[in-house]
């Protein structure tokens, strides 16, 4: 399958598109394709499930559940101000509704934050492992923490989202790639289709989170994927996660920035296959009625 380079309004995968009603009545869209061990694909801020298009090659041996997180893609935020906790609740409820067992959660950036919340919640047992893609356990730096972003940077982003969202989306689309080009322009166009109020609320929620105290309780084997040319987080962030999680190892992608699954998709997919091969067999799924 050749690379897919359209991140625009067509967010579905063309087949296997479903909708799930969350406990508060919100409509959450997801794609479900393939059979085998489930991979639950959780995208970054302002992205959508289509940003995992290049992982569809994994559907030859795995079940791929790619979620449009609340406030993104086909999943509207509604009148609420979404939070990381609410997004994690959506994913947990969807995992229960689909009867997933032995799943591998794959969280990219914001998606990793959502995944960490899921893995310390009541549906954690449905997940056998995790893949964290270029994310820090705390976005906001302080006197004792420098593996995130400065307070000035976080506040500037909050203001940019409020004051000039198209410019913010354009800059973010460029920033996720080690070598920005036409693909970065298409990502920026997709980012700009989001509701700035919902994105602003999620950014504020993310900045307020601190996952460091939760990491020791996440016992699922975890693969830390780091873009060696990331403009956001360095190798020391990946090293911290490996040390803080009970069962983790890291792999660096030498030509990637913040989005290794987009920039080096064949290598990324191979790493996921290799990682999944180390896990115990999946139990027979048990649907919830």
**221-249, pLDDT tens digit by residue?**
999 999 999 999 999 999 999 999 999 99
pLDDT tops 90 at residue 73: yes
Q: CATH number of the domain at 235, please.
A: 3.40.50.1820
The two tokens of residue 251 are 């792999």
> Is residue 56 a part of any domain in this protein?
yes
d(CA 78, CA 84): 15
- Model confidence band, residue 9 (pLDDT cutoffs 50, 70, 90): very low
State how many domains the chain has: 1
* SS3 state of residue 238: helix
pLDDT value of residue 147? 97
Taking Cα atoms as reference points, which of 225, 251, 260, 284 lies closest to residue 37? 284
- What is the Cα Rg of the chain in Å? 17
Provide mean pLDDT across the span 55-75: 97
pLDDT value of residue 5? 38
> Helix, strand, coil shares of the chain as percentages rounded to 5?
40, 20, 40
- Model confidence band, residue 287 (pLDDT cutoffs 50, 70, 90): low
> Is residue 250 a part of any domain in this protein?
yes
Helix (H) or strand (E) holding 28: strand 27-33
The two tokens of residue 207 are 């900045």
pLDDT value of residue 3? 33
Taking a C-beta distance cutoff of 8 angstroms, is the pair 33, 39 a contact? no
d(CA 128, CA 205): 27
The domain of 229 spans: 17-276
The model's pLDDT over 183-206, given as tens digits with 9 standing for 90+, comes to 899 999 999 999 999 999 999 999
> Is residue 232 a part of any domain in this protein?
yes
Taking Cα atoms as reference points, which of 110, 114, 77, 108 lies closest to residue 95? 114
> Is residue 149 a part of any domain in this protein?
yes
> Is residue 4 a part of any domain in this protein?
no
> Is residue 10 a part of any domain in this protein?
no
Distances (CA, A) of 75 to 11, 22, 202, 289: 11, 11, 14, 23
**Mean pLDDT of the residues in the chain:** 92
Taking a C-beta distance cutoff of 8 angstroms, is the pair 173, 188 a contact? yes
Helix (H) or strand (E) holding 118: helix 110-119
> Is residue 110 a part of any domain in this protein?
yes
% of the chain residues with pLDDT over 90: 89
Provide mean pLDDT across the span 106-133: 98
Phi, psi (rounded to 5 degrees) for 116: -60, -40
> Is residue 12 a part of any domain in this protein?
no
Provide mean pLDDT across the span 74-97: 94
Provide mean pLDDT across the span 127-153: 97
């Amino acid at each position: 399958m050749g690379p897919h380079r359209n991140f625009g309004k067509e967010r579905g995968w063309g087949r296997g598109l479903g909708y799930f009603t969350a406990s508060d009545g919100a409509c959450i869209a997801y794609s479900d394709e393939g059979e085998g061990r489930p991979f639950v694909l959780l995208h970054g801020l302002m992205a959508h499930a289509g940003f995992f298009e290049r992982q569809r090659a994994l559907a030859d041996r795995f079940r791929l559940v790619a979620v449009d997180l609340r406030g993104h893609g086909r999943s509207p935020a509604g009148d609420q101000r979404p939070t990381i906790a609410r997004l994690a609740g959506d994913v947990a409820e969807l995992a229960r509704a689909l009867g997933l067992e032995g799943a591998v959660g794959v969280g990219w950036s914001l998606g990793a934050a959502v995944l960490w919340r899921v893995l310390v919640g009541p549906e954690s047992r449905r997940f056998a492992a995790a893949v964290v893609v270029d994310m820090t356990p705390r976005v906001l730096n302080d006197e004792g923490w420098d593996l995130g972003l400065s307070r000035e940077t976080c506040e500037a982003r909050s203001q940019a989202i409020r004051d000039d969202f198209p410019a913010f989306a354009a800059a973010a689309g460029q920033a996720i790639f080690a070598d920005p080009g036409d693909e970065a322009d298409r990502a920026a166009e997709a980012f700009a289709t989001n509701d700035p109020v919902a994105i602003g609320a999620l950014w504020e929620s993310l900045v307020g989170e601190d996952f460091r105290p939760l990491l020791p309780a996440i016992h699922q084997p975890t693969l830390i994927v780091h873009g060696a040319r990331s403009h956001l987080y360095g190798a020391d962030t990946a090293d911290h996660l490996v040390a803080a999680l009970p069962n983790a190892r890291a792999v660096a992608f030498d030509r990637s920035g913040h989005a290794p699954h987009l920039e080096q998709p064949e290598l990324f997919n191979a790493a996921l296959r290799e990682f999944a091969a180390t896990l115990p067999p999946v139990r027979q799924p048990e649907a919830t009625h």
